[in-house]
Amino acid sequence: SFQYKAALKDDDALRLAMIRLAKQYGRYGYRKVAKLLRIEGWHVNHKKIKRLWQEEGLQPPRRHRKRKRLYHKDSSIIRLRPTHPNHAWSRDFAHAKLSNVRPYKILTVLDEYTRQGLRVGVAFKMGSQIF
């Protein structure tokens, strides 16, 4: 049987145009560069641009989120730290299931200053009576 053998296309000019746009617009990804290439008159598919983009290793580095600080630039504090016992408590709810598939809840209360466990409550149904 005869099989069709596709002619290999030379993508060097397209690669150079893509690299030029990637350098000019440093934070652009392959989608925006593909749109710019179409504006310049190239008849290209976004999938081809993505393949060439990955082969050239042109992906810009990911941006990192800024960490939220506990203080403003003028050194004022956003969240006060506890200064004595019973000043601030923290609580945590956990859910789990028994071997008979019955769910239960666990409540833990900590003193933020002493880091001491004040209360641990375990119940199948948890309402205000846990305190």
Any idea how long the chain is?
A: 131
Q: What is the pTM of this model?
A: 0.45
**Which tokens go with 91?**
């609580």
Residue 126 identity (one-letter amino acid): M
Within-domain flag for 111: yes
In angstroms, the CA 19 to CA 58 distance is 8
Structural domain boundaries, residue 121: 89-130
Residue 42 has pLDDT above 80, yes or no: yes
pLDDT digits (tens, 9 = 90+) for 45-87: 999 999 999 999 988 778 888 877 666 666 665 666 788 998 8
Within-domain flag for 125: yes
pLDDT digits (tens, 9 = 90+) for 83-128: 899 888 888 889 888 888 889 899 999 998 898 999 888 888 887 7
In angstroms, the CA 19 to CA 33 distance is 9
Within-domain flag for 28: yes
| Total count of domains within the chain | 2
Within-domain flag for 3: no
Please calculate the CA angle 116-118-120 and round it to the nearest 5 degrees. 115
Within-domain flag for 121: yes
Within-domain flag for 109: yes
